[in-house]
Amino acid sequence: MHDPKYLRDNLDFIRTSLGRRGQDVAWDAVQKLSDERRTLTTQVEQLRSELKKGSDEVARLRRAKEPAEAAMAAMKGLGDRIKEVEDNLRGVEEALSDLALRIPNLPHQTVPLGSDASDNVEVRRWGTIPSFTAPAKPHWEIGEALGILDFDRAAKIAGARFAVLSGAGARMERALINYMLDLHTGSHGYREVLPPLLVNRRTMTGTGQLPKFEDDLFRLRDEDYFLIPTAEVPVTNLHREEILSEDRLPIRYTAYTPCFRREAGSYGKDTRGLIRLHQFNKVELVAFSTPDRSYEELERLTGHAEFILQSLNLPYRVVTLCTGDMGFSATKTYDIEVWLPSQGQYREISSCSNFESFQARRANIKYRPAGGKKDAKAEFVHTLNGSGLAVGRTLVAILENFQQPDGSVLIPEALHPYMGGIKKIQPWPDGS
RNA sequence: GGAGGGGUGACGGAGCGGUCGAACGUGCCGGUCUUGAAAACCGGAGAUGGGGUAACUCAUCCGCGAGUUCAAAUCUCGCCCCCUCCGCCA
């Protein structure tokens, strides 16, 4: 959400800057409602001031044992008039905030202009792309042959876009989760959090999923709870309605959670395999920063996610998303894309973003600057987050990049301690 | 699910329907005292929105929402959350 005052005074600038991203915003209504809110606010305050003075006068008269009937009669009805104007004002404010909550964040100056993913700019590459004598197999073939991935039974018990992992597959998913968490908590300075997977409406609004993207979420039928689409949601909202002291910043959390997404509108995309599921595992990195350090923090955080891939020896590249490809709440986003041999291309495995004060304003997360000066007014923090990493896609990358001619898959050395001594995944004999 | 208790400022905790934005205590900041510190004493300090170059000023905020009243932290109703006991359950 934008600063209401800034929004009111810079409507045209914001509108122009957003370009295509702001095309479905009702700009004229925003303008009109902003103006109305202002006049109604002034009106209410004047009436209230009048009422207050009148009431004080009544109190004074009665204390002085003087007749107060006239003063009371004069005030009669004022309250009702105030209520009327207030109802108006409330209506205007609700309408305005509903519209304002649907305005995307403005991109940072360093974000390249563009309309879609093809305009994203590659920042760097790491690792060597493996070469294969035979065509590289897709992970679902590898996994099914090894008996560690089962999409047919997943479809039976749940439906399309679900997967069952078993044996060494299940083990490796768990190994990756533990490995990532250990690294982020042990070496990168994050505090581990295990949050609820169901959250309320207020929380979903705080990070920007609501009101605009309700269709992307799974929602419970009988209660107003949503399944989280990412740990970003509960973890960022941890400090909702709080004022943090500056010396606590930056706060860095890492959280493993399953993530649930309806994937509405992505029919036909990545229908096979583990790439796009309704439920997947992710280890998330979340940071709360002072405004002056948030871009520095974005680089750090991205580096922490990259390090996982490096330590697993998986080739990847980092791209800066262009203005047209960025998410709703971000000012700047780096995508980390891992190499998938079967597709002959890099695919997203992490997305690291700075939201500046956009989420903080929605969720009311502030900090009080240190220094003991009298002007220590609370200000909004900057929030950031990134995947570190999407676990299922990491498994995909391992299966595909380290597949062997005999159908087995070599396990990266960093995972050996987490795999109970297994260094290679061999076919499960009876194939069940 | 049943019964009861409670939600007030960073925290603890008061609050006859009318100088209550809110006593008091702790913590915090500044000062006096001290070689320094502690103690003691004095003073300061909330959030949001509007107006003003500024000193400042106006409005709102005592879980949330509605109602009663000239006037609500205080009275009434609904909702949310927390706690205790009982039942159920991993």
Through-space separation of residue A51 CA and nucleotide B72 C1' in angstroms: 14
CB-count exposure of residue A87 (10 Å: 0-12, 13-18, 19+): exposed
**Residue located via tokens 């004080």:** A56
Q: Span A305-321, mean pLDDT?
A: 98
- pLDDT at residue number A20: 84
Rounded to the nearest 10 degrees, what angle do helices A168-186 and A294-311 cross at?
140
Task: Reduce the DSSP state of residue A384 to 3 states and report it.
Answer: strand
Q: Are A397 and A339 in contact (CB under 8 A)?
A: yes
Nucleotide whose C1' lies closest to the alpha carbon of residue A71: B70
Nucleotide whose C1' lies closest to the alpha carbon of residue A42: B50
- Percentage of chain A beyond pLDDT 70 is 97
pLDDT tens across A229-238, in order?
999 999 999 8
What pairing do the DSSP bridges indicate for beta strands A365-368 and A242-245? parallel
Q: How confident is the model at residue A251 (pLDDT cuts 50, 70, 90)?
A: very high
Q: Are A257 and A228 in contact (CB under 8 A)?
A: yes
Would you say residue A277 has pLDDT above 90? Answer: yes
ipTM of this complex: 0.82
Nucleotide whose C1' lies closest to the alpha carbon of residue A372: B29
Contacts of A326 (CB under 8 A, 6+ apart): A21, A107, A111, A332, A333, A353
> What are the distances in angstroms from CA A391 to CA A64, A242, A397?
76, 31, 10
Nucleotide whose C1' lies closest to the alpha carbon of residue A90: B65
- pLDDT at residue number A375: 46
Q: Is the CB of A42 under 7 A from strand B?
A: yes
Task: Reduce the DSSP state of residue A260 to 3 states and report it.
Answer: strand
- pLDDT at residue number A180: 98
Token code pair at residue A80: 């009702």
- Cα-based angle A357, A195, A393 (whole degrees, multiple of 5): 85
Through-space separation of residue A320 CA and nucleotide B84 C1' in angstroms: 55
Q: Are A339 and A360 in contact (CB under 8 A)?
A: no
Q: Is the CB of A83 under 7 A from strand B?
A: yes
Would you say residue A327 has pLDDT above 70? Answer: yes
Four-CA torsion A174, A177, A179, A180, nearest 10 degrees? 170
Token code pair at residue A400: 């595909």
Q: Is the CB of A38 under 7 A from strand B?
A: yes
Chain B positions with an atom below 7 A of a protein C-beta are 10, 18-19, 29-30, 46-51, 58-60, 66-67, 69-71
Q: Is the CB of A76 under 7 A from strand B?
A: yes
**HSE-up of residue A432 (Cα within 13 Å, Cβ side):** 1
Through-space separation of residue A406 CA and nucleotide B25 C1' in angstroms: 76
Q: How confident is the model at residue A84 (pLDDT cuts 50, 70, 90)?
A: confident
Q: Is the CB of A424 under 7 A from strand B?
A: no
Dist CA A218 CA A215 (whole Å)? 8
Q: Is the CB of A266 under 7 A from strand B?
A: no
Dist CA A328 CA A212 (whole Å)? 9
Whole-model pTM: value is 0.91
Would you say residue A373 has pLDDT above 60? Answer: no
Q: How confident is the model at residue A4 (pLDDT cuts 50, 70, 90)?
A: confident
Dist CA A359 CA A208 (whole Å)? 7
Q: Is the CB of A75 under 7 A from strand B?
A: yes
Through-space separation of residue A48 CA and nucleotide B70 C1' in angstroms: 13
pLDDT tens across A384-428, in order?
999 999 999 999 999 999 999 999 999 999 999 999 989 999 987
Would you say residue A372 has pLDDT above 50? Answer: no
> Which of residues A212 and A312 earns the better pLDDT score?
A312
Distance of CA A430 to the CA centre of its chain: 43
B44 nearest neighbour residue (CA to C1'): A374
Measured from the Cβ of residue A241, the count of other Cβ atoms closer than 10 Å reads 11
Q: Is the CB of A58 under 7 A from strand B?
A: yes
Q: Span A129-145, mean pLDDT?
A: 95
Through-space separation of residue A23 CA and nucleotide B64 C1' in angstroms: 35
Through-space separation of residue A79 CA and nucleotide B67 C1' in angstroms: 13
- Positive or negative, the CA dihedral A384, A176, A410, A188 is positive
For chain A, the maximum distance between any two Cα atoms, rounded to a whole number of angstroms, is 104
Nucleotide whose C1' lies closest to the alpha carbon of residue A86: B60
Q: Is the CB of A4 under 7 A from strand B?
A: yes
Would you say residue A202 has pLDDT above 90? Answer: no
Q: Give me chain A's average pLDDT, please.
A: 91
Active-site residue list of A: 261, 276, 348, 351, 393
Through-space separation of residue A90 CA and nucleotide B38 C1' in angstroms: 54
